[in-house]
Structure 1
Amino acid sequence: FSSTAATGGGPSWRNPMKSIIVLPTAWEVHPFESGVSWFTGAASAGVLITAVMSAVMWLGRGSRGDFWRACAGVFLLSLLAYVLAEQKVVKYYGLEYALWALVIGLLISNTTGVSKALSAGVRTELYMKTGLVLLGAEVLFGKLLALGLPGICVSWVVTPVVLIVTFWFGQRVLKMESAALNMVISADMSVCGVSAAIATAAACRAKKEELTTAVGISLAFTVMMMVAMPPLIQAMGLGPVVGGAWVGGTIDSTGAVGAAGAMLGKEAEVVATTIKMIQNMLIGVVAFGVAVYWVTCVERTEGARPEISEIWRRFPRFILGFLGASVLVSVLYENLSGGPDFVKAVVDGGTKTVRSWCFCMAFVSIGLETNLGTLAKFLRGGKPLTLYVCGQLLNLVLSLLMSLLMFEVVFPGAADVLRK
């Protein structure tokens, strides 16, 4: 990092990694129409991520000598997914990299099959957990305090209510065969999409096919809601603050939230992304709660006493890394001279890009691990889809009512601080 004197007298930080590690750029006719510099940056990202992942696997003694080649192969598939997602027409319709990554993985695994050389690099949990820890650097506690009680009510009151009611509905009304699938879908839909699904799946020991089912449904509805909600909000005559809060509280993906909010204007985009950021903070709480519930209720043997050690084994400990990164960056943001600029340099110039690559590699890996024939068993009867739709309808209604109550009735000027 380097710093220069800013206009206001404080240091202005610049991250040299920003020009070295990049994502593919938008294109219309062919990916290289704006030059090849993005490809060089993407290749640098691939080398860095492959080296780090290989080192982690070696230290954990889970690496064979060919892991780095397989990891590089997964990265190349991720690069293809990102390039496809950056095509301007594709991007306009909100078909994000996660969807392309999943489709590419599914096509390979269900046609030619995953080669032995590539299979060593299929490490969904490693990529996703790394990405989630890096995501913590983007979650600032100051944002929670800035939006205050209204944001907390939209994110932290509605979310657990929707999660609990949806899970109850799946168990008691739909009578889902798998409680784990029910929980993963409920958490995915109510909290913050795939990130919550990964954490919850670890806590309740869900099968890989169950996680893939939840992720697939979530991605499909994320695209539809991102496209449909902005015109619906405008047709309903909702203001940018309420509209942004509604978007942030209901659409699963953080990227899709930002895109949908941007369609409603800058103010709506800021409110939407802030609400989603506050909601992201629930990942750890939900994962811990699910671990406790699963050990004490779902899998408890009659007469046996639940052990705290089992709860600890179930708890996805990478969440501690997520929280640690969030706390560290929040402290630096508030206390370091030029803190906001420093955090922006760290996130925009490095962690956000690496996090995006890790997530993309995780989605490719999910596709590569999934057999559609096995997946069909979990979709049979339409119960997972029904569960998601009913839960999301409840989420839409409660989030809208809470947004109207908080930002129009109780705290009409609450979002003013975000305009500063």
Structure 2
Amino acid sequence: MTIEKERFVIHEDWTVVILGGLIILLSILGVLLPVPAFNWSSSQELFSKVLTVGNLQIIGWQFLFVIVIAALGAWMIGKPMKSFLLGFPIVYILTILALIMAGNSAMKALNLEAVIFSLVTGLVISNCFTLPEWFKSSLSTEMFVKIGLVLLGTSVIFTDILKAGSLGLIQALVVVLSVWYFAFWVCKKLKVDSELTMMISSAVSICGVSAAIATSGAIKGDSKKLTYVISMVLVTAIPMMIFMPVIAEYFGFSEEVTGAWLGGSIDTSGAVVASGSLVGETALKISTIVKFSQNVLLGLAAFAISVYWSYSKSNKENEGRERPTLKVIWERFPKFVLGFIGASVLFSFFLSPSTTTAVKDSLKTLQGLWFALAFTSIGLETNFADLFRQNSKKPLYAFLIAQGFNIVITLIIAFILFG
């Protein structure tokens, strides 16, 4: 028994750093998975593009790759292997079904991201059927999220900050800092709990879903609260995407100002591109640059939030005693953030552009798949009624107030810098 216990001593955060690093290393060495097709607009295209033998084979190879990685991770963190190997294929199939639904052109037009379909698929099943305990114990939500976050680091390239332009970067810095602090202050005033406060502040100020996921990982947040925040982000992004271009046209804003406004205030990249396209080519370019500049700040924000949360948590636990030491803060610091930063540094400064270009599509697909697997798992773990019963309306009020401030302050900054 002692020997068996000693095998499972690797912490989950270090496990995901190892697994993320392994995926990246295999990609650099040439183990590149073909990208499956999920986009379709009619039933004819569904069967001629997505459900073809060739595309299903690609999805099958992808399954074999991720189940080996996931099983290795489950073994390292001590999950029961039998239940994991039985449960993971079910989660994978449900996730693929969600990705196919999200690939429909009508859903894309509404800017409904794949993670929301993964989440809804899991929620429907968990609330309509009683899932066995062995299946619930096989779910590895945190591990899937954090592997996706380590891979997200490969797309945050430091040298691309220069391409974003100084004005886009200045706007991103001012907006992120001012909106994050305002959202944090509003949440505290409304007595929103600390975990939701951090997730809401990051989601509103930085880049929506990705920021909420990264923050939840950094503070080891409750997955149900993360679901609640992401639901608010996705629901508010749709009317903003539609009505902000209309408002800009009504008041005669220039395309430069409109693009900077859209890119700085809409929380999802897909919605930014969609709304920028409604205005014009210049607006699309500026909005993309500004949003990209905010995305680049995600790594720095995740690191800062991790340090703050580790220190404040240690302070609470050591209240009335000596101040927390660096050792205590290090023990509480989420190590996956180091994997994220390490991946970003590797792809920014040590790999050739040709290598980066060759592996980026495969890694981007895998990153999205790990996130989708995570949200399918969250849905399967969550009772839909509890999702809103456990959270009062105060987080929603805080989110909407912060989003309103975000829209106004971003417009002011856009006029100053691009007007």
In the superposition, the TM-score normalised over structure 2's length comes to: 0.83
Aligned pair 1:123/2:134, yes or no?
no
Q: Report the CA distance shift for 1:162/1:110 in structure 2 as closer, same or farther (over 3 A).
A: same
The question of whether the paired residues in 1 share the 8 Å contact of 2:215 and 2:305 is answered with: yes
Cα drift, residue 21 of structure 1: 3.3
The question of whether the paired residues in 2 share the 8 Å contact of 1:93 and 1:227 is answered with: no
Aligned pair 1:185/2:200, yes or no?
yes
Q: Distance in 2 between matches of 1:225 and 1:356?
A: 24
For these two proteins, the number of residue pairs brought into alignment is 385
Aligned AA (1:212): T
Cα drift, residue 62 of structure 1: 3.2
Aligned pair 1:316/2:334, yes or no?
yes
1:389 match: 400
The question of whether the paired residues in 1 share the 8 Å contact of 2:102 and 2:113 is answered with: yes
Aligned pair 1:206/2:221, yes or no?
yes
Local SS of the residue matching 1:110: helix
Which of 242, 261, 275 is equivalent to 1:227? 242
Q: Report the CA distance shift for 1:204/1:325 in structure 2 as closer, same or farther (over 3 A).
A: closer
Aligned pair 1:112/2:125, yes or no?
no
Q: Report the CA distance shift for 1:279/1:237 in structure 2 as closer, same or farther (over 3 A).
A: same
Local SS of the residue matching 1:128: helix
Cα drift, residue 43 of structure 1: 2.5
The question of whether the paired residues in 1 share the 8 Å contact of 2:164 and 2:293 is answered with: no
Hey, which of these two has a bigger chunk of helix by percent?
Answer: 2
Which of 355, 358, 368 is equivalent to 2:367? 355
Which of 218, 235, 243 is equivalent to 2:233? 218
The question of whether the paired residues in 1 share the 8 Å contact of 2:303 and 2:337 is answered with: no
Q: Distance in 1 between matches of 2:329 and 2:231?
A: 28
Aligned AA (1:347): K
Q: Distance in 2 between matches of 1:27 and 1:292?
A: 45
**Matching of residues 216-295 of structure 1 within 5 Å:** 216-295=231-310
Aligned AA (1:280): N
2:391 match: 379
Q: Distance in 2 between matches of 1:214 and 1:310?
A: 29
Deviations 1:67-120 (A, max 9, x none): 233222111111111111122222222222121111111111222133345424
Q: Percent identity?
A: 34
2:66 match: 49
Q: Distance in 2 between matches of 1:131 and 1:83?
A: 20
Aligned AA (2:237): T
Q: Report the CA distance shift for 1:355/1:233 in structure 2 as closer, same or farther (over 3 A).
A: farther
Q: Report the CA distance shift for 1:379/1:368 in structure 2 as closer, same or farther (over 3 A).
A: same
The question of whether the paired residues in 1 share the 8 Å contact of 2:79 and 2:138 is answered with: no
2:13 match: none
Q: Distance in 1 between matches of 2:355 and 2:273?
A: 22
Q: Distance in 2 between matches of 1:38 and 1:400?
A: 44
Which of 332, 353, 358 is equivalent to 1:345? 358
Long gaps (5+) in structure 2: 1-27
1:145 match: 162
Local SS of the residue matching 2:81: coil
The question of whether the paired residues in 2 share the 8 Å contact of 1:26 and 1:86 is answered with: yes
Q: Distance in 2 between matches of 1:405 and 1:229?
A: 19
Local SS of the residue matching 2:82: coil
Q: Report the CA distance shift for 1:17/1:187 in structure 2 as closer, same or farther (over 3 A).
A: same
Aligned pair 1:71/2:88, yes or no?
yes
In the superposition, the TM-score normalised over structure 1's length comes to: 0.83
Q: Which moved more, 1:127-136 or 1:229-238?
A: 229-238
After superposing on structure 2, the runs of 4+ consecutive aligned residues of structure 1 that deviate more than 4 Å are 295-299
Which of 35, 43, 50 is equivalent to 1:21? 35
Q: Report the CA distance shift for 1:185/1:114 in structure 2 as closer, same or farther (over 3 A).
A: farther
Q: Which moved more, 1:186-195 or 1:197-206?
A: 197-206
Aligned pair 1:368/2:380, yes or no?
yes
Q: Distance in 1 between matches of 2:65 and 2:325?
A: 41
Q: Report the CA distance shift for 1:360/1:77 in structure 2 as closer, same or farther (over 3 A).
A: same
The question of whether the paired residues in 2 share the 8 Å contact of 1:144 and 1:151 is answered with: no
The question of whether the paired residues in 1 share the 8 Å contact of 2:219 and 2:334 is answered with: no
Aligned AA (1:272): S
Q: Report the CA distance shift for 1:88/1:21 in structure 2 as closer, same or farther (over 3 A).
A: closer
The question of whether the paired residues in 2 share the 8 Å contact of 1:139 and 1:278 is answered with: no
Long gaps (5+) in structure 1: 1-12, 409-420
